[in-house]
Amino acid sequence: MSEKKPVYICRCQEITEDDIKKAIEDGARTVKGVKNRTGATMGLCQGRTCRKLIERMLARYVDMNEIKPGTRPPVRTVKIDDMVKGEEVENE
Ligand code: FES
């Protein structure tokens, strides 16, 4: 009788690899998403030990094509008036 031993990813919070996989299956796509679902990275070391492991699991199990880009700030300053007009502004 060999019972499968849990693999702890976040030792501080006792979050296992299976817990992280379940969080990813439930829709977590970032470390913050995993944190919100499991409490990982919220222990004494504040994720110093487990963050990299969670990032690796996300890279392994998440299809990057399903992640939609988020809202980003403009790469250069744009006047609100120009944004309202919707006109292209050449670099000055
Ligand atoms: S190992 Fe996860 S918070 Fe410390």
Q: Is residue 40 part of a domain?
A: yes
The total number of structural domains that make up the chain? 1
Output the CA–CA distances (angstroms, integers) from residue 44 to 11, 12, 14, 28, 32, in the order listed: 10, 6, 12, 22, 17
Q: Ligand 1: which of 34, 41, 54 to mutate, judged by most atoms within 8 Å of the beta carbon?
A: 41
Q: Is residue 77 part of a domain?
A: no
pTM of the model: 0.70
Per-residue pLDDT for the chain (92 aa), expressed as one digit of tens each? 668 899 999 999 999 999 999 999 999 999 999 999 999 999 999 999 999 999 999 999 988 777 666 666 667 777 888 888 876 655 55
Pocket flag, ligand 1, residue 10 (CB < 6 Å) = yes
Distance 39 CA to ligand 1 centre (A): 9
Q: Is residue 18 part of a domain?
A: yes
Q: Is residue 13 part of a domain?
A: yes
Torsion angle defined by CA atoms of residues 71, 20, 13 and 9, in that order, rounded to the nearest 10 degrees: -110
Identify the domain containing residue 42 by its residue range: 1-65
CATH for 53: 1.10.10.1100
